[in-house]
Chains A and B, each alone.
Chain A
């Protein structure tokens, strides 16, 4: 009982610690530029200026912000979908098909997990420069569709959640391997795939270095690049736009989490039972 109270209290403190900056952002997004430094940071200023700020964000630089948001959605959504599908296929194959060199392939994938993404960004840049992918959407999308950690996760989950007997039954019924994968395998793996999708979605959403290197055209930029650009401008005050733009940019991520949360819960529970 006592331990429970302590645990709750501890979690409460951690939650406050994590949510305080978010609270600051929400509050600051409602302030006019003049109030931003003239009123206490953690409480609202004199008048609510949120609508004005949103208007400013949307009209700054000829309305580029909405374009950036759309781009981020394309990169995150497309990249996460691609990464999930590829990781699911690779993980499923590694778990379910015994073939020569399976161990080696898996070891290489595991090795790739250990390499931080920024480290390979420059080589990627040089590669993309050669094949003409610089300053294109594909230049950002393609690298984002590769997730070694996703392959690992998918393999572990497929091993536990997809019974061989079920695949056998499918084969006896005359279904091809691809059909079995899409109708049986992928459905059984769904909880893990949702997790994977969310991870990758958020990772791409927050990605900065890769698009920064690859993209020149501002119309192709994701939100992260745009906000940093605004933040870096010292002449011409954009702090209100930066804060409000940041707030708007986390809304889709929150929506993605809330709407996919129930799948995620199922996944965590499933993992604890299976293991």
Chain B
């Protein structure tokens, strides 16, 4: 396939980074075609138009708000299909055709894929001044080999959603550590054999990666010009063995993520808690309204008592795509979107997004009580959690292939009585192979 050939020619990460460095040096769009003329204007004359593609709810209103107050830089927003549903293919196609939008929503798990496709502009120089406005780990997640390729906008720090009434009924304290969590799982299941403290989704790699991240894992990183894949690193295996223990004792409800059966078990009170990302707040409210008022949110259980480290699942940076004629303006807008108090407050209200900005925790919308959680202002819990997100986790250039491998290997292990540790070994092998198939160099570790 063309994609593979192309990647083979541009040897690896180093080449990808080198490519963006070169573009930064010679200062022209490159990649064929830009939307306004050939050369990048040093200082903009007249209003500049920045085209923007994304799908997150609330983006459309944010663009309107920006345009009303910034006559010199007009943002033209187009809502496209979500990335995994074809949006990313559309973006890469547009980059090839030379008519890509300046700015695009690209999930953190997909940035590296775009980088090795040569679809991203280096924005280090435009972004560095405002990076202090962000949580440091968020900037870290959009930086490859010292070069920043995107502006982090929203994030998904994790917490523990739990049923107050069920835990109270069985006199179970809210677990603060994973050890207490396991003990609580045992106690609850013994008291009510139909109920489980939590569920395990064998087809949810992203959720699992959040647990691994909390434990200190980093599945993908770059060393020199090679990718390093560490899906079987020590922290990940610790997490795998922990869940293996719960699975072996049949203390967790095994259900596919997002399935009707999963939501039904939540409604029926068969699942008493969920350790998940902040965006589950709204999903639970909307999916299982009959249990309204019975839920609450606590910090994610920690591995060591008193030491709070939090996992993160999801979040979408916005990247400047190759060929953009106005990267400076695009970065300016994206930074405003992520850090302006009133802009992000609207994103919280309209889209349920969670900020990556350092002072995002002081947004008025963070303090809103939510009836579904017994009027608890749950975003305050996540605001605290956001400050302790483990900084190091990285994704590789072949996330869809890794996701497929995870679903089949872990799914089979759970269904047929294999171990999660063995399944992860298989995922590791597939991940390494998928990167090699792209013609990139890779090491294991």
Chain A residues with CB under 8 Å of chain B are 33-34, 36-38, 41, 122, 125-126, 129-130, 134, 208-209, 212-213, 216-218, 225, 228-229, 232-237, 239
Asked if A235 contacts B86 (CB within 8 A), the reply is no
Mark contacts of B273-301 with chain A using CB atoms, 8 A cut-off: 1 yes-contact digit, 0 otherwise: 00000010011001111100000000000
Asked if A228 contacts B282 (CB within 8 A), the reply is no
Nearest CB on B from A72, distance (A): 16
Asked if B79 contacts A229 (CB within 8 A), the reply is yes
B101 to chain A: closest residue by CB: A216
Known contacts: A225-B81, A229-B81, A235-B351. The answer to whether A37 contacts B55 by CB under 8 A is no
- Bound together, the chains give a CA A16 to CA B68 distance in angstroms of 56
Q: Hey, which chain B residues are within 8 Å of A126, CB to CB?
A: 93, 96-97
Asked if A234 contacts B85 (CB within 8 A), the reply is no
Asked if B99 contacts A134 (CB within 8 A), the reply is yes
Chain B residues with CB under 8 Å of chain A are 53, 55, 57, 78-82, 84-86, 89-90, 93-94, 96-99, 260, 263-264, 266-267, 279, 282-283, 286-290, 351-353
Q: Which 7 pairs between the two chains have the least Cβ-Cβ distance?
A: A237-B286, A235-B352, A232-B82, A37-B263, A129-B97, A216-B78, A235-B282
Given A228-B85, A232-B85, A235-B283, 11 more A-B residue pairs with CB atoms under 8 Å apart are A33-B286, A37-B260, A37-B288, A122-B93, A129-B99, A134-B99, A212-B80, A216-B78, A235-B57, A237-B287, A239-B287
- Bound together, the chains give a CA A38 to CA B269 distance in angstroms of 11
Q: Hey, which chain A residues are within 8 Å of B89, CB to CB?
A: 122, 212-213
Q: Hey, which chain A residues are within 8 Å of B263, CB to CB?
A: 36-37
Known contacts: A41-B260, A229-B55. The answer to whether A236 contacts B81 by CB under 8 A is no
Nearest CB on A from B354, distance (A): 10
Asked if A218 contacts B57 (CB within 8 A), the reply is no
CB < 8 Å neighbour of B86 from A34, A208, A233, A239? A208
- Bound together, the chains give a CA A37 to CA B266 distance in angstroms of 9
Q: Hey, which chain B residues are within 8 Å of A125, CB to CB?
A: 93, 97
Nearest CB on B from A65, distance (A): 15
Nearest CB on A from B238, distance (A): 29
Q: Hey, which chain A residues are within 8 Å of B84, CB to CB?
A: 232
- Bound together, the chains give a CA A213 to CA B78 distance in angstroms of 13
Nearest CB on B from A115, distance (A): 14
Q: Taking chain A's interface residues, is the majority helix, strand, or loop, or is none over half, making it mixed?
A: helix
Asked if A235 contacts B279 (CB within 8 A), the reply is yes
Q: Hey, which chain A residues are within 8 Å of B266, CB to CB?
A: 37
Nearest CB on B from A248, distance (A): 20
Q: Hey, which chain B residues are within 8 Å of A208, CB to CB?
A: 86
Asked if B82 contacts A229 (CB within 8 A), the reply is yes
- Bound together, the chains give a CA A41 to CA B288 distance in angstroms of 15
Q: Hey, which chain A residues are within 8 Å of B351, CB to CB?
A: 235-236
- Bound together, the chains give a CA A235 to CA B84 distance in angstroms of 16
Q: Hey, which chain B residues are within 8 Å of A213, CB to CB?
A: 86, 89-90, 93
Asked if A38 contacts B264 (CB within 8 A), the reply is yes
Asked if B99 contacts A38 (CB within 8 A), the reply is no
Q: Hey, which chain A residues are within 8 Å of B53, CB to CB?
A: 216
Q: Hey, which chain B residues are within 8 Å of A34, CB to CB?
A: 289-290
6 CB-based A-B contacts, threshold 8 Å: A37-B260, A129-B99, A134-B99, A228-B85, A236-B57, A239-B287
Nearest CB on A from B193, distance (A): 22
Nearest CB on B from A122, distance (A): 6
Asked if B81 contacts A212 (CB within 8 A), the reply is yes
- Bound together, the chains give a CA A209 to CA B352 distance in angstroms of 29
Q: Hey, which chain B residues are within 8 Å of A212, CB to CB?
A: 80-81, 85-86, 89-90
Nearest CB on A from B295, distance (A): 15
- Bound together, the chains give a CA A19 to CA B90 distance in angstroms of 34
- Bound together, the chains give a CA A41 to CA B353 distance in angstroms of 31
Asked if A232 contacts B97 (CB within 8 A), the reply is no
- Bound together, the chains give a CA A134 to CA B53 distance in angstroms of 15
Nearest CB on B from A42, distance (A): 11
